[in-house]
Structure 1
């Protein structure tokens, strides 16, 4: 239980609503900012607030959105017309032992957290969260593939670039649907794993040799890899779905010029399955808070 713990939420989307509900169910004192346009409160006993230094000074835990803010401190809000702008005074007002959670933080937030020696937990850096999130990401990528092609996944030739947590789940799902899966890898152990799974591995440096026989490319590598030279060798009817963080790893300008459909699709869990993605984050945050509480009690 989270009884007696004050948790402040600043902004976010439907995923954040699930985290709020979970914390309220565990008896936390939940105070939220940026949810005034919700049709109904996320849970009983949740208090809607304005962003003030007094509010932040009361926090045992601060939960920011999946992307904490932009580089000017603007926090993403889906359920409010009023902007939330973080400033240095907000970080200065936080208790020294506050726990701060987000999916990923940009330099603005990192710099101020470091300045005031606060503790930051970035959920998307955790293997368990990334693996769970790979499930809705893969399903969303498949949805996009079906919507943007006139062929079935079954019998198609699909290239998955990168066999990290998302790439592996996606390749396995494509295989289950009857696709011929080629896996572009950068490591020898990934090459071996792809071969063991029954996929056709190749090193990403040899991508140009694979380009002529592709129906779909799914990229998970956040560096420029699907270059103009690669796109020039691809069939015009091929589709590129780039799952890497913006700006992706595809030359979108050249793809458009050549008439090859290329789609940038980061953040799919929050788009295609916000409830599931929110539950993943809620379970992780609540478990982490409990662990930190136990650790503090022991000390």
Structure 2
């Protein structure tokens, strides 16, 4: 239980509702910032503005999956304006006040460099990434169906990257009857792809394998789909880039060639916000319980 733990949930989207629901059930004291247009009521949760929330009483801060944008703003779909968290406000919190965010951004790093507060990048955890790979794969299937005029079955697909997301995506499309190749740099990942019945190809040989590809799905957060690779793709090819912004595709050149290229990070929150929210809520509740136990035991 999180009885008497004061948690500020600042901004976010529909996934935050599941987090609020879970933490409310655990008896936490919740301050909701950027939720002034939210109609739902949650026990123990109070709507606040950042200007009226006393930072000295906050034990933990939960930011959205996207963290802060380049302007240092926290975005929210439940308010007309984004929220600004400045160094003065954050410096007023306890030194043990922990900040939880889906990802780390340059603006968060800059703020933490000034304020020196504990920080947890939730999406960097294996368990969260693996759980999220399921709605990501389902959302990718949806996008491929919407943006192609052929069946997935018998289509030729190339999945770039065979990590926590790439593995689930490749396996999902293979189970739907696609002919799936997996491109990776690490030899152990190529061996794992082979073991799972997929065709492994070295990332350095990618140009030779995209000439007949119907769909290319990228999960690598680096520019791997460069102009020299895209130039070898057939005109009907579809690129779905799942990597975090700005993705790993030369979108300018893809557009010039008339190849449809879609940047689609954050699919879980789009196609299955309730499931994605529950995944985050379950992990955050465990992390917060550990933090609260340490704080009350005086070990922080």
- Normalising by the smaller structure, the TM-score range is over 0.9
Matched ranges for 1:228-267 at <5 A: 228-267=227-266
Equivalent residues of 1:53, 1:93 under 8 A apart: no
Q: Does 1:96 align with 2:95?
A: yes
1:38 deviation in Å?
A: 1.5
**Maintained 8 Å contact 2:86/2:111:** no
State how far apart, in whole Å, the 1-side matches of 2:113 and 2:22 are. 29
> What TM-score do you get using the length of structure 1 for normalisation?
0.96
Aligned to 1:263, what secondary structure does the other structure show? strand
Provide the C-alpha distance between the structure 2 equivalents of 1:254 and 1:105, rounded to a whole number of angstroms.
29
1:11–1:76 contact (8 Å) kept in structure 2: yes
Q: Note closer, same or farther for the CA distance 1:236–1:292 as it changes in structure 2 (3 Å cut).
A: same
Structure 1 segments of 4 or more deviating over 3 A? none
In structure 2, the residue matched to 1:31 is 31
Return the alpha-carbon distance in structure 1 between the equivalents of residues 82 and 200 of structure 2. 47
Contact 1:9/1:64 (8 A) holds in 2: yes
Partner of 1:213: 212
Deviation at 1:275, TM superposition (A): 0.8
Note if contact 1:54-1:93 (Cα within 8 Å) is conserved in structure 2: no
Q: For 1:146 and 1:298, how far apart are their aligned partners in 2? A: 54
For 1:173 and 1:293, locate their aligned partners in 2 and report how far apart those are by CA, in whole Å: 39
Instruction: Using structure 2 for the length normalisation, give the TM-score.
Output: 0.96
Deviation at 1:53, TM superposition (A): 6.7
Task: Structure 2: give runs of 5+ residues left out of the alignment.
Answer: none
Structure 1 Cα separation of the partners of residues 128 and 80 of structure 2: 30
Q: CA RMSD in A?
A: 1.3
8 A Cα contact 1:53 1:90, kept in partner: no
Greater shift, 262-271 or 100-109, is seen at 100-109
Query: Aligned partners of 1:154 and 1:209: how far apart in 2?
Result: 22
1:157 aligns with 2:152: no
The answer as to 2:45 corresponding to 1:46 is yes
Report SS of the residue matched to 1:20.
Answer: helix
Q: How far apart are the structure 2 equivalents of 1:292 and 1:215? A: 48
Distance 2:52 2:240 in 1: 43
Counterparts of 1:53 and 1:72 in 2: how far apart (Å)? 22
Q: CA deviation at 1:117?
A: 2.2
1:215-245 per-residue CA deviation (whole Å, 9 max, x = no partner) reads 1000011111112221221111111101111
Matched pairs, number? 298
Measure how far apart 1:298 and its partner are. 7.1
2:30 paired with 1:15: no
Q: State the Cα deviation string for residues 93-136 of structure 1 (Å, max 9, x = none).
A: 11111121111121222232233221101101111111111111
Q: CA–CA distance in 1 between the matches of 2:142 and 2:53?
A: 45
Is the 1:8–1:56 Cα contact (8 Å) retained in structure 2? Answer: no
Q: Tell me the secondary structure at the aligned position of residue 44 of structure 1.
A: coil
Counterparts of 1:112 and 1:83 in 2: how far apart (Å)?
A: 17
Aligned to 1:198: 197
